[in-house]
Structure 1
Amino acid sequence: MPSPLRLDPVQETLLLTLYARALDSKAPHPILGDTRSAAVADRIAADTGYDFAKLKLKPSLVTSTALRARKLDDVVRRFVAAHPDAVVVDLGCGLDTRWARCSPPEGVDWYDVDYPAVTELRRQYVSDPTHAVAADVTEPGWAETLPGDRPAVIVADGVLPFLPGDSFRATVRRLTAQLPAGELALNGYTRFAAWAMKYHPSIKALGIAAAQGFDDPHEPEHWDAGLTLAEEQLLTRAPEVAAFPQPLRALTRLVARSTALSRQGTRILRYRF
């Protein structure tokens, strides 16, 4: 008899991104090609009876999820190549298999941070040799367990819009106070994009409302976290768009002509601290 998953709606979003990566891996021209995510999704469906089809994933969400993961992976790979003794902090990691995709040097310490219920799922389905931190990322205290004497790269994939108030910026302040120097990389939702997410069929299926976003990529420079914008990538202009299915590919290339419109889609922001 399958044992049902016990996740709250925000935690359940990890299944949405997991399934998006799984579907991408089965596409004729995958963007991320994460076959391990497909295997994890299949095991969860078999063990728990979870119906991934209810998430109603459209091609736009599958491709954007895969593309932002690929670009964030690139940030991590470059950083650990330059700093083989680095610390990697993956905030709200869910069931992501980023460690395996990035294959960091042996001297890297990797910390996967997520709710206790999610951490337990990772123990069952994602057996990576990383440090599991079972905590709400917004809670104070856990950041103090990170090494404070090594360069670090912080990744926040899909975390920003689901955190209330200024809790994300408070989390970033605590991390940059603990870590001596490094980079922060996230997919930066605008306020409109965060607001619009709650009307997306997949988000509506989980019964949650997105919350936070910011328009100006320089805004985090005013969070008192020592951040300096290093890069803004508008993913409508990424070369990987050539692998999008039609008509999504044509629509994306049309949107790419406008910087303002492109910012309402997926963008990757990278900061130094």
Structure 2
Amino acid sequence: MLHEAHLGLDPVQETLLLTLHARALDSRAPEPILGDALSAEFADRIDYDFARLKLKPSLVASTALRARKLDDMVRRFVTAHPDAVVLDLGCGLDTRVVRCAPPSGVDWYDVDLPVVADLRRELLGERSHVVGADVTQPGWLRDVPGDRPAMIVAEGLLPFLPGASFRTMARALTEHLPTGELALNGYTRFAAWAMKYHPTIKALGIDAAEGFDDPREPERWDAGLTLVEEQLLTRAPEVAAFPQPVRALTRLMSHSAALSRQGARVLHYRF
């Protein structure tokens, strides 16, 4: 059992427990969307008052759905490129490498801050290359192969990187890697602003950074990115498995693209 006092996480790093708990709750639902039983195992091994995170059913469902959509993108990429490099940025305790089960020729890099990387190794062992680094600082890509197609996943990372640091990171990645794809859950400016007033985020004392509204904005970051698709998750067929009244509210939002973007969306780029 890992005790909270020994985790050594600051409020931003503590958000990994939020998403871990959401995936665990989804796995225990009658109709799970992601079905990540391993996350439930890890949550049971951590002595933490998860109730204080005040997760609502809507957040559990949307967290599971965005993870499922990002997993789908990763699986498609590594099937097409069985010698690829995968970078899961800000991975926390996500078990994506287990869920996606990449071919043996894929080099998978799970990247997060050093204290999170140590916790990850303790729980998951060496299922991937675990990199303890601050992605806003130069040099961390030094040991990542730069001659193979790459799939980059950044789930939940955007609103926690200050200022233009996400753009700077994207440029560094596409300069180092020859070709590939970037997938992230895209927060609008309003959604990023509203996060700081969400009960869960308020409980952790976090100020979220900025998002962006136009899904084509990253094409103007000088990072060689081209938008492939914007998935509005309110319109995903998996919404049928959402609990009521979340399902009805989500379907109501789905009629408006503007409202849907304030909820959950997954953005997919090629470089």
Distance change >3 Å, CA 171–CA 44, structure 1 → 2: same
Within 5 Å, which residues of 2 pair with 1:5-154? 5-45=7-47, 50-154=48-152
Task: Select the residue among 163, 167, 170 that pairs with 2:168.
Answer: 170
Q: Which amino acid aligns with 2:136?
A: T
The answer to whether the 8 Å contact 1:22/1:38 transfers is yes
Tell me the CA shift for residue 3 of structure 1.
6.0
Task: Select the residue among 214, 224, 231 that pairs with 1:216.
Answer: 214
Tell me the CA shift for residue 137 of structure 1.
1.4
Pairwise CA RMSD: 1.0
Tell me the CA shift for residue 59 of structure 1.
0.5
Secondary structure at the counterpart of residue 14 of structure 1: helix
Looking at structure 2, the residues matched to 205 and 51 of structure 1 have their Cα atoms a distance apart, in angstroms, of: 12
Tell me the CA shift for residue 60 of structure 1.
0.8
Tell me the CA shift for residue 129 of structure 1.
2.0
Q: Which amino acid aligns with 2:147?
A: D
TM-score with structure 1 length normalisation? 0.97
Looking at structure 1, the residues matched to 212 and 143 of structure 2 have their Cα atoms a distance apart, in angstroms, of: 29
TM-score with structure 2 length normalisation? 0.98
State the percentage of identical aligned residues: 76
Corresponding residue pairs, total: 269
Secondary structure at the counterpart of residue 30 of structure 1: coil
The answer to whether the 8 Å contact 1:100/1:128 transfers is no
| CA deviations over 1:249-271 (Å, ceiling 9, x no partner) | 00000000001110111100000
Secondary structure at the counterpart of residue 98 of structure 2: helix
Q: Which amino acid aligns with 2:169?
A: T
Tell me the CA shift for residue 38 of structure 1.
0.3
Looking at structure 1, the residues matched to 13 and 21 of structure 2 have their Cα atoms a distance apart, in angstroms, of: 14
Tell me the CA shift for residue 118 of structure 1.
0.1
Looking at structure 1, the residues matched to 193 and 232 of structure 2 have their Cα atoms a distance apart, in angstroms, of: 19
Q: Which amino acid aligns with 1:13?
A: T
Stretches of 4+ aligned residues off by more than 3 angstroms: none
Tell me the CA shift for residue 144 of structure 1.
2.6
Tell me the CA shift for residue 128 of structure 1.
4.4
Tell me the CA shift for residue 34 of structure 1.
0.2
Looking at structure 2, the residues matched to 60 and 41 of structure 1 have their Cα atoms a distance apart, in angstroms, of: 20
